[in-house]
């Protein structure tokens, strides 16, 4: 069954047929939305058909995704998504909130949110019989694509800036992707990838370019919905979801997921979305605060490499995700991000800087009165702290080194 009708440009609304191999709108470069056939999905499925599926991965939502079953049983491709949702009492009390959840995307197969997008793009690539998939990445998108392609024996080429954290580059290499480090930033790698895909006929996964990444990312909303909104507990106020923003594709995906659910009539109220950017990489927040959809590039500089972007590739939809849901943008400093790594660590959650940024944004929103104690809040940690051990180390004090003797230990402890 064809579950999607085609593509629609997010800027000029031109529609494109589903059979086309197309990335962004040829007229204006706008990001394309995949248009789901919600009418026929609604006819065929009820909520209970979805949430009773026996599949602990994002593939449990296959009926709501624009791809067919990609196969790959028994591989990491089939275990992407369905990440834990914690409710740490200690943080809830510290923040003075009644309801707080943290969704830990570091628990994906390659340890970041990007596995969701790469899983769906690999599914799509198999359908269109693409031989090779290429992506530009600051690290995580590449690791996810390399991991998901390795899982099913497909070829991938990854372009990353030469400054990408070593753990991420190690993942790319271990997964056996062809890795090309670019002597330039992410934006330079992005442009090169698009040209290479054109010239060599490769299928391009680039974030904010390939329309299917959002379709993978929307599965996080389905999981939040299933865990929190189908349980019968009625919350007085809409759910508030905090997520960090670089290119703006994750927040657009989360928005898309809830929009699909709204179109299906499976939720009554749209959650409020809060985007969090680093002070040194805030192009989308800048546009939001100037009431403008036009995105002006910045010279990005932040410790949170996964959200360090000069020119966001999904900025327009990322601004709308917040304006259309009554949320806001929050801008946080590198020091606040490091403090949040420590705060999350204290409840057993190890976040990379970009993941911790979302929590820092929640603290800002509470201080600024944009979130109050009775708002139910979900914070998404987008990536594991093991991705960037150097940043983690800089957030904490060094451990003392002692002689292996009881005297030295007493001296230390009784000091
Ligand atoms: C990619 C990424 C983000 C930001 O996602 P965008 O779609 O670029 O906004 C945030 N955190 C982590 C860990 C990421 O890998
Ligand atoms: Zn257009």
Three-class secondary structure of residue 57 per DSSP: coil
Please name the residues in contact with 380: beta carbons below 8 A apart, sequence gap of 6 or more. 102, 103, 105, 113, 220, 241, 242, 243, 244, 250, 254, 355, 358
Tell me, yes or no, whether 347 lies in a domain. yes
- Among 202, 73, 250, 75, which residue's Cα sits nearest to residue 148? 75
Alpha carbon of 122 to ligand 1 centroid (Å): 19
Strand partners for 101: 378
Q: Which domain holds residue 259?
A: 76-107+213-395
| For ligand 1, mutation pick of 109, 244, 249, 277 (most atoms within 8 Å of CB) | 244
DSSP secondary structure letter of residue 228: I
DSSP secondary structure letter of residue 51: H
Please name the residues in contact with 109: beta carbons below 8 A apart, sequence gap of 6 or more. 76, 79, 80, 115, 147, 148, 151
Average pLDDT, the chain: 96
Alpha carbon of 318 to ligand 2 centroid (Å): 16
Atom number in ligand 1 closest to CA 383: 13
Strand partners for 102: 86, 379
CA–CA dist 266, 359 (Å, integer): 28
DSSP secondary structure letter of residue 226: I
Atom number in ligand 1 closest to CA 309: 8
Tell me, yes or no, whether 184 lies in a domain. no
Where would I find the beta strands (DSSP E) of 63-118?
85-86, 100-104
Three-class secondary structure of residue 58 per DSSP: helix
CA–CA dist 385, 396 (Å, integer): 13
Atom number in ligand 1 closest to CA 105: 13
Query: What angle in degrees, to the nearest 10, is found between the helix axes of 249-263 and 114-127?
Result: 70
Alpha carbon of 31 to ligand 2 centroid (Å): 8
Residue 346, pLDDT score: 97
Q: Which residues of the chain have pLDDT under 70?
A: 1
CA torsion sign for 60, 147, 353, 328 is negative
Alpha carbon of 354 to ligand 1 centroid (Å): 7
Residue 41, pLDDT score: 95
CA–CA dist 220, 119 (Å, integer): 13
Tell me, yes or no, whether 180 lies in a domain. no
Q: Which two tokens stand for residue 297?
A: 């590039």
Residue bearing the CA closest to ligand 1, atom 7? 249
Tell me, yes or no, whether 344 lies in a domain. yes
CA–CA dist 75, 361 (Å, integer): 35
Tell me, yes or no, whether 17 lies in a domain. no
Tell me, yes or no, whether 163 lies in a domain. no
Model pTM? 0.97
Domain count within the chain: 1
Ligand number nearest to the C-alpha of 140: 1
Tell me, yes or no, whether 132 lies in a domain. no
| For ligand 1, mutation pick of 168, 172, 246, 309 (most atoms within 8 Å of CB) | 246
Three-class secondary structure of residue 93 per DSSP: helix
Q: Distance of CA 270 to CAs 43, 230, 238, Å?
A: 22, 14, 7
Residue 139, pLDDT score: 87
CA–CA dist 149, 27 (Å, integer): 32
Residue 1, pLDDT score: 59
Is 320:255 a contact under the CB 8 Å cutoff? yes
Please name the residues in contact with 265: beta carbons below 8 A apart, sequence gap of 6 or more. 42
Q: Which two tokens stand for residue 41?
A: 């999905």
Ligand 1: residues whose CB is within 6 Å?
112-114, 140, 207, 244-250, 306-307, 352, 354-355, 382-383
Is 34:23 a contact under the CB 8 Å cutoff? no
CA–CA dist 334, 199 (Å, integer): 39
| For ligand 1, mutation pick of 80, 103, 118, 140 (most atoms within 8 Å of CB) | 140
Alpha carbon of 3 to ligand 1 centroid (Å): 27
CA–CA dist 370, 251 (Å, integer): 18
Greatest pairwise CA separation for the chain in angstroms = 76
Alpha carbon of 5 to ligand 2 centroid (Å): 17
Ligand number nearest to the C-alpha of 23: 2
The domain that holds 364 is classified in CATH as: 3.40.50.1100
Alpha carbon of 42 to ligand 1 centroid (Å): 31
Tell me, yes or no, whether 218 lies in a domain. yes
Ligand number nearest to the C-alpha of 137: 1
- Among 20, 36, 119, which residue's Cα sits nearest to residue 79? 119
């Amino acid at each position: 069954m064809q579950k999607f009708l085609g593509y629609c440009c997010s800027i000029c609304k031109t529609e494109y047929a589903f059979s086309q191999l197309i990335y962004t709108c040829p007229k204006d470069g706008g990001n394309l939305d995949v248009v789901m056939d919600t009418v026929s999905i609604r006819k065929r499925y009820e909520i209970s058909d979805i949430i009773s599926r026996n599949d602990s991965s994002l593939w449990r939502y296959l009926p709501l995704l624009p791809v067919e079953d990609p196969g790959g049983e028994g591989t990491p491709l089939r275990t992407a998504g369905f990440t834990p949702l914690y409710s740490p009492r200690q943080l809830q009390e510290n923040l003075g909130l009644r309801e707080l959840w943290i969704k830990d995307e570091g628990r994906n197969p390659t340890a970041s949110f990007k596995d969701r997008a790469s899983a769906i793009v690999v599914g799509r690539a198999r359908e269109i019989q693409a031989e090779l998939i290429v992506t530009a990445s600051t690290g995580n998108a590449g690791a996810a694509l390399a991991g998901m392609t390795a899982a099913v024996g497909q070829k991938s080429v990854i372009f990353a800036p030469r400054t990408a954290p070593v753990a991420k580059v190690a993942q790319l290499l271990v997964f056996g992707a062809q890795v090309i480090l670019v002597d330039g930033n992410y934006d330079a790698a992005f442009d090169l990838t698009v040209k290479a895909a054109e010239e060599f006929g490769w299928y391009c996964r680039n974030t904010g370019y390939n329309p299917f990444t959002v379709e993978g990312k929307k599965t996080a909303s389905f999981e939040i919905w299933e865990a929190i909104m189908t349980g019968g507990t009625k919350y007085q106020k809409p759910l508030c979801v905090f997520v960090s923003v670089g290119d703006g594709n994750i927040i657009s995906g989360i928005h898309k997921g809830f929009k699909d659910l709204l179109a299906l009539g499976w939720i009554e109220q749209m959650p409020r979305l809060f985007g969090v950017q680093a002070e040194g990489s805030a192009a989308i927040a800048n546009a939001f605060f100037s009431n403008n959809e036009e995105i002006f590039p910045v010279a990005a500089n932040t410790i949170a490499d996964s959200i360090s972007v000069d020119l966001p590739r999904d900025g327009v939809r990322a601004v709308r995700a917040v304006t259309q849901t009554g949320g806001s943008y929050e801008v946080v400093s590198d020091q606040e991000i490091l403090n949040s790594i420590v705060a999350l660590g204290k409840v057993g959650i190890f976040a990379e800087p970009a993941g911790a940024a979302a929590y820092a944004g929640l603290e800002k929103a509470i201080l600024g009165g944009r979130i109050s104690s009775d708002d139910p809040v979900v914070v998404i940690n987008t990536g594991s702290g093991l991705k960037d051990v150097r940043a983690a180390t800089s957030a904490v004090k060094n451990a003392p080194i002692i002689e292996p003797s009881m005297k030295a230990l007493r001296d230390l402890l009784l000091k």
